[in-house]
Structure 1
Amino acid sequence: LETLEHSIKYNKELMIHYHGRYLSNQILRVQPYKLVFSVDNLYLIAFSPTEDKIRKFRFSNIETVEELPKNFYKNRDIENYITTSQTLFANDTSLNITIHLHVSAKRAKYFDYKKYLHSQKILYKYDTGEIKVEYKVNNFNEIDNLIIKWLPEVKILKPEDFKIHIQKRLTKKLVSLS
């Protein structure tokens, strides 16, 4: 962890040996940008010059880290992407999907007290204590865990394909129990 923090602070390239779900036993040269704690895991956000893309590495899957003598200049576009992304699951920074939720009176206060994503807006407060909430995301994975966590106190008003996405995720979870 100290090597990662040092490399981020002083813009030092890294060689990491990674063994994860999608990258099995890979050795990669990366430019580290940030350590992020998300969904009970620590992640390294880094740029891979070889692949020319931003990568997210779960800390527990990084087997070895070697700091290289080469420095790099941080790319402002990458830094902007990291600071404007709502979650680790963002593909880009354009928020082109609008999701409307109906939250029960029993749980409305939690949405009133806390913004779960930067884009959260309370559109309407009903006399009954219920609220209508809006989120703007760039893919469903940014918000699906939040929705599943609050079921059945949250109802998806729109879009319809997001309802279908959540139903499929829940069905898959239930099937795995049998």
Structure 2
Amino acid sequence: MRLHRLLGIIMLLDSRGIMNARNLAKILEASERTIYRDIDILCEAGIPIMSISGPNGGYSFMENYKINSNVLQGGDIINLLLSSMGITPDKNTEMSQQLKNALIKLENTVSEDHREEIVKAKERFFIDSDPWWGKKIQNENLDLIKKSVLNLKKLKVYYKKYAGETLERIIRPYGVVVKSYQWYVIAFCEVRKEIRIFKCSRIENIEVLKENFAIPKDFNLEEFWAKSKQQFIKNSSFEIKSNSYVVKIKFHEDIKQLLEGFHINSIIKVEDKWIYEVDMLSFETACNLLFSLSDRTEILEPIELRNYIITKANKILSFYNV
């Protein structure tokens, strides 16, 4: 990780001239203290970096010193390709720093006018993939998974299932799918003897093995994911249907917007009232929602739900001695 950051500093000084520690830290997503340490390391290694004082000062190479760091390598092209596909790495990962370096190299290959446009665009457009609430889970295994997929190396993983059980598996990673910023590795499981989907955030520990493998010639990542997604949607729909709880309610006003998210089977207007037949999935869900609306509704069916509301209302009245 440090090596890629040091290369990033060299390429930025080579392309942009004088840069202060604050701007270097912002671009490379590091602290200013880290940048100061990195500059010291580069100077000790013989890189002729000088410090310039004053309000417009910073660091730069000595006069007439240039390096040839702008040639895109195979790894750079792969990282640029992944980025163009929307596969963006987590912060503070090796892949993230490699992508930054590749973009800096790409920036250095264009004319001065176009370079200014690139810098301007990077300063004025920003994608924040973090959720509004809670904290985004950082996955430390993505670099190893990416290398394993590209180099066809087997992985030993410790995978935590949804129920909490952790399993040890030897897998052959055929590819990676990124959906809604979540990484999924599609791999042949040597225990189950079939291709399975592993959510990367549930991989607690990982080890890259020396043994190589070959991907079957008839395997297609996009087709496999499409079929798996259809099956997942089908199974989820079946599960929702099996957890059905239909209620019939009489509303004294049209409050259809409050039922958003539930499947409404029918709506009948009788004089100034509306009778809804709604699937609320479960008895507990119906209780929680409808009791809060009990001053505006009358539950007609099922009887157990109607009795629940009546019992709850009588209990509240007893507290007030009414």
How does the TM-score come out when normalised to structure 1? 0.50
2:192 counterpart residue number: 51
Contact (CA 8 Å) 2:169, 2:190: kept in 1 or not? no
Whichever residue aligns with residue 76 of structure 1, its letter is K
Contact (CA 8 Å) 1:12, 1:67: kept in 2 or not? yes
Contact (CA 8 Å) 2:159, 2:203: kept in 1 or not? yes
Cα deviation for residue 64 of structure 1 reads 0.9
2:114 counterpart residue number: none
Whichever residue aligns with residue 75 of structure 1, its letter is P
Going from structure 1 to structure 2, the CA distance change for 1:23 and 1:71 (only over 3 Å counts) comes to: farther
1:61 counterpart residue number: 202
Going from structure 1 to structure 2, the CA distance change for 1:27 and 1:140 (only over 3 Å counts) comes to: closer
> Are residues 1:139 and 2:234 paired?
yes
Which has the larger helix fraction?
Answer: 2
Contact (CA 8 Å) 1:38, 1:88: kept in 2 or not? no
How does the TM-score come out when normalised to structure 2? 0.30
Cα deviation for residue 48 of structure 1 reads 0.6
SS in 2 for 1:21: coil
SS in 1 for 2:177: strand
Residue identity over aligned pairs, in percent, reads 22
Whichever residue aligns with residue 199 of structure 2, its letter is R
Whichever residue aligns with residue 19 of structure 1, its letter is K
Give the total of aligned pairs. Answer: 115
Cα deviation for residue 89 of structure 1 reads 2.9
Question: Over residues 90-125 of structure 1, what are the superposed CA-to-partner deviations in whole Å (9 max), with x where a residue is unaligned?
Answer: 45xxxxxxxxxxxxxxxxxxxxxxxxxxxxxxxxxx
SS in 2 for 1:3: helix
Matches within 5 A, 1:59-138: 59-77=200-218, 79-80=219-220, 82-84=221-223, 85-86=225-226, 88-91=228-231
Whichever residue aligns with residue 175 of structure 1, its letter is T
Going from structure 1 to structure 2, the CA distance change for 1:19 and 1:140 (only over 3 Å counts) comes to: closer
Cα deviation for residue 138 of structure 1 reads 8.6
- Consecutive unaligned residues of structure 1, counting only runs of 5 or more, are 92-136, 145-150, 153-166
Whichever residue aligns with residue 169 of structure 2, its letter is L
Contact (CA 8 Å) 1:17, 1:64: kept in 2 or not? yes
SS in 2 for 1:51: coil
1:106 counterpart residue number: none
Which has the larger strand fraction?
Answer: 1
> Are residues 1:175 and 2:285 paired?
yes
Question: Over residues 120-157 of structure 1, what are the superposed CA-to-partner deviations in whole Å (9 max), with x where a residue is unaligned?
Answer: xxxxxxxxxxxxxxxxx993549x9xxxxxx88xxxxx
- Structure with the bigger RCO (C-alpha within 8 Å, sep 6+) is 1
SS in 1 for 2:229: coil
Contact (CA 8 Å) 1:89, 1:141: kept in 2 or not? no
2:320 counterpart residue number: none
